[in-house]
Amino acid sequence: MEDLNGIEKILAYAGAQGRRSLTETEVYQVLALAGLEAPKHLLFPAAGLAPAAAAGQACAALPGDRAVLKLVSSKTLHKTESGGVKVLEKEPEALAAALKAMAARFPEAEAFMAAEFVPHSPFALGEELLLGARADEAFGPVVTLGPGGTNAEALISSLRPGTAPSVMPAELAFNTGAWEKFLSRCWIWDYAAGRVRGGRRLAEDGEIVKWLEGFAHLMKRFGDGGPSDWTIEEFEVNPLAVSRGRLTALDGVLRFRPAKKAEPRRRPTKQGVDGLIHTKSAAVVGVSEKKMNMARIILNNISKAGFPRERTYIIKEGAAEIDGVKCYPSPAQLPEKVDMYVVAVPSPEVPRVLAEAGESGKVNGVVLISGGMGEKSGSEGVAGTVVEAIAAARSKNPDFALSGGNSLGIVLNGSKINTLFIPEYKMEHPLGVNPHMAKTAFVSQSGAFVISTISKMPWLKPAYSITVGNQQDVTVPDYVERLADEDDLKVLLVYMEGFKPGDGLALAKTIEKARSKGKLVVLYKAGRTAVGQKAVMGHTASIAGDYLVTRLIMENAGALVAETFDEFNDLAALACSFADRRTKHGNTFFISNAGFESAGMADGVAGRLTAEMSRELAAVVDKTLKEHRLDPIVDAKNPLDITPMATDAAIAAVLRSALASDEFSGAIASMIPLTAMMNTLPKGDKWPDDLEKSFLREAAAAAREARKPLVFVVGSGALYEPYCALAESLGLPVFRSADRAVKMYRKYLEYVL
């Protein structure tokens, strides 16, 4: 039975002494008051250990044949490595001698402890666990479980990313089935539960669930905004020994601080965000009559996108119209309430412009292009004024919302509006619809990330391209939450730098909801290192958070997390191309006209990605090879090296047979285009090739008909860019190396399956 008042007293006592951490014996007291098991123990003051014999005699009262002597010192963090832990037989003379020797070795000791010995093997996986919890501003308190012991850190670092530890936000811990799902992903508990080959059950699941729930409850009770005056920042038990069906803490650390009583962030309403993603009227502030400044570029981009000119306005005194768009001296004089009020003025003018917008009652949503408010050192005052302007505007219009500052703009293909401040001649704007691409939203804190990605992948035409900037009001999770409710939206691409308090948890919940609706979510999270977090903080004025915790929580929620920018682009291409395709299993057909590529693709087959072929299907492929006179040099197998002698017709026929078969869920075709037998260059006077005779059109049509993924690889140079462009125009994701294509397709398959 928990005694929370008793735990409160322990924290208050330590806090009154100016401490921000508990001693090991105090940690044991907290565990006992929480209904969790700590070893029986005795404490001996370090001052004058004259009665060492008496202490040794007292140790005889501990259970078992052996006892553990421990140094108690706030100055020695790693007691085992420094010789501050000894396991001895329970003989009074030996215990007394060991206490004297330890006292001589550690003159800085505050005390010594004798504890019962809990029998277990520190070398057997599953018998020593690490159970931890920590306060996290982005996710609230989180609980972690992984392998424990003195080598826990080295073991975890040597494992495949994502293997350990397992992480759960305490907020989600009490959902039905949450702990069962958590333990199913925790490989180290598989050893304790006897779920590995040759293993035996060491403890029931209910025993670890008791500990997990206890930690989650404590972290919620002693957290910011809770009833306690104290917040537990970090609570760790290592090792948590599994012995005789029970779990016992053998060491523990608890760090705490005074609780913060900060008010939760006032999130914009759904109606407020909705006006920014389904815009029907817009106004621009900051347009110059004399030069093509940032605001005027935005105005021209709005017009070129096809947004109704009669519902586009300029806020400017002393002008009747600019570029055919009517001007109004102030927002109060606008003829209607506008959904999107684009502000591109110097940062010192921003507070006045926002105050006028809010006071007018004619503005629903602001896209604040202006930067230098909060992300630059010394600009905190301006950022504070912006926050005050938002609050004042909401007192008049509860649905007022602001996106930015430091936003690069928003592109909405449904509304035909483009507020990017990038000139059209610098990049192909993501306007229009790609008929071969699933309906997609691209939400990013970094505007440069969006335009860089779209510049490299001009086929990418998201229905929504939203750059959020430093999240002074509407955040990335706010947008993603609203977009997850769009029934026909299939893919969410998300670039995240820093979280506002509680936004990490909000994003995880939204991703879980999106996945339950069949949507795919591709995420890149920046700020994974100390240097990276510092860069992120400078850009977004947000909480960078801990990358490992973020990645594990987002993956568990259902995000496909990219580790690099290139990975993000690759996974985005696969998701946008194949979100509407049927992927029932991972058996895939691989074909190349080069032996090294066939071997490379075979080397990449692992996990859910397989390369099997039945005799019956091999006979069908053999027949096709014979029809194209390739049977003397090629045998049907998977991966298939069809050799440079294969024509477009032969390749198309083989792919058509493979894609029509239920044996394969999809195919990867990797063709070195230098062979004279294939049409890989556009029709011209210098060569006989004609891209219109390529196998690509027939293969792409076969993939669409079968509703299966087809990945295309061109492992050659810039001469073959038109070949790649043709494949992309047909809805095929294109890679420039076969091994990278297989690696990314395997990661995509693991995700969707």
Could you tell me if 661 and 717 lie in one domain? yes
Q: Which residues is 131 bridged to in the sheet? A: 145, 237
727 pLDDT more than 60: yes
Query: 26 in helix, strand or coil?
Result: helix
21 part of a folded domain: no
Residue found under tokens 């140079």? 717
* Token output for 601: 């693709």
pLDDT score recorded for residue 538:
47
477 pLDDT more than 90: yes
600 part of a folded domain: yes
Residues constituting the chain: 753
Could you tell me if 573 and 448 lie in one domain? yes
Kindly report the CATH number assigned to the domain that includes residue 52.
3.30.1490.20
Residue partners of 105: CB distance under 8 A and separation at least 6: 83
Could you tell me if 89 and 61 lie in one domain? yes
Q: How many CA atoms lie within 13 A of 631 on its CB side?
A: 12
pLDDT score recorded for residue 454:
96
| Percent of the chain scoring above 90 in pLDDT | 74
Could you tell me if 138 and 217 lie in one domain? yes
pLDDT score recorded for residue 448:
96
Could you tell me if 635 and 688 lie in one domain? yes
| Domain final residue pick, 580, 608, 636 | 580
pLDDT score recorded for residue 113:
85
Please give the model's pTM, rounded to 2 decimal places. 0.91
pLDDT score recorded for residue 541:
45
Handedness of CA 51, 52, 56, 58 (dihedral sign): positive
Across 79-83, 122-126, 386-390, 652-656, least confident range: 79-83
pLDDT score recorded for residue 544:
46
252 part of a folded domain: yes
245 pLDDT more than 60: yes
Q: With bands split at pLDDT 50, 70 and 90, how would you rate the model's confidence at 553?
A: very high
pLDDT score recorded for residue 160:
63
pLDDT score recorded for residue 554:
95
Could you tell me if 564 and 599 lie in one domain? no
Could you tell me if 274 and 382 lie in one domain? yes
Could you tell me if 373 and 398 lie in one domain? yes
Read off the pLDDT of residues 108-126 as tens digits, 9 standing for 90 and up: 888 888 888 888 888 888 9
Range of the structural domain that residue 693 is part of: 588-752
Q: Which residues is 459 bridged to in the sheet? A: none
2 part of a folded domain: no
CA atoms of 94 and 55, how far apart (whole Å): 11
pLDDT score recorded for residue 44:
79
CA atoms of 168 and 637, how far apart (whole Å): 45
Residue found under tokens 């804190």? 445
Residue found under tokens 């206490």? 99
747 pLDDT more than 60: yes
Q: What is the DSSP track for 656-679?
A: HHHHHSTT-SEEEEE--TT-TTS-
Could you tell me if 568 and 681 lie in one domain? no
485 part of a folded domain: yes
**Phi, psi (degrees; rounded to nearest 5) at 32:** -65, -40
pLDDT score recorded for residue 52:
58
Q: With bands split at pLDDT 50, 70 and 90, how would you rate the model's confidence at 537?
A: very low
CB burial of residue 471 (10 Å; 0-12, 13-18, 19+): buried
Kindly report the CATH number assigned to the domain that includes residue 657.
3.40.50.261
416 part of a folded domain: no
Beta strand pairing status for 312-315 and 282-285?
parallel
**Torsion (CA) 310, 312, 317, 320 in degrees, nearest 10:** -30
Beta strand pairing status for 666-670 and 588-592?
parallel
CA atoms of 303 and 281, how far apart (whole Å): 12
CA atoms of 722 and 423, how far apart (whole Å): 25
Could you tell me if 254 and 277 lie in one domain? no
Across 15-19, 81-85, 426-430, 729-733, least confident range: 81-85
46 part of a folded domain: yes
Of 142-146, 156-160, 528-532, which has the strongest mean pLDDT?
142-146
76 pLDDT more than 90: no
What's the whole-number mean pLDDT along residues 474-481?
97
| Domain final residue pick, 258, 282, 309 | 258
* Token output for 28: 């044991």
Q: Are 682 and 752 in contact (CB under 8 A)?
A: no
Q: Which ranges in 64-151 belong to alpha helices (H)?
A: 92-105
CA atoms of 321 and 155, how far apart (whole Å): 68
Across 84-93, 239-248, 485-494, least confident range: 84-93
pLDDT score recorded for residue 502:
92
| Domain final residue pick, 78, 94, 117 | 117
One-letter amino acid for residue 472 of the chain: Q
CA atoms of 347 and 682, how far apart (whole Å): 50
Could you tell me if 737 and 595 lie in one domain? yes
CA atoms of 717 and 730, how far apart (whole Å): 21
Q: With bands split at pLDDT 50, 70 and 90, how would you rate the model's confidence at 154?
A: low
Instruction: Considering only the C-alpha atoms of the chain, give the largest distance between any 2 of them, rounded to a whole number of Å.
Output: 103
DSSP 338: B
* Token output for 25: 């014996």
Q: How many CA atoms lie within 13 A of 582 on its CB side?
A: 12
CB burial of residue 80 (10 Å; 0-12, 13-18, 19+): middle
31 part of a folded domain: no
Kindly report the CATH number assigned to the domain that includes residue 305.
3.40.50.720
pLDDT score recorded for residue 528:
65
pLDDT score recorded for residue 19:
92
Could you tell me if 675 and 746 lie in one domain? yes
Average model confidence (pLDDT) for the chain?
A: 90
Residue partners of 417: CB distance under 8 A and separation at least 6: 279, 282, 302, 305, 307, 340, 410, 411
Across 69-83, 230-244, 275-289, 343-357, least confident range: 69-83
| Percent of the chain scoring above 70 in pLDDT | 92
Q: Which of 142, 79, 164 is nearest to 115 (CA)?
A: 79
CA atoms of 688 and 681, how far apart (whole Å): 9
pLDDT score recorded for residue 381:
60
CA atoms of 445 and 741, how far apart (whole Å): 28
CA atoms of 64 and 52, how far apart (whole Å): 20
620 pLDDT more than 80: yes
DSSP 84: -
Beta strand pairing status for 440-444 and 464-467?
parallel
pLDDT score recorded for residue 98:
83
Overall number of domains in the chain: 5
Across 21-25, 355-359, 713-717, least confident range: 21-25
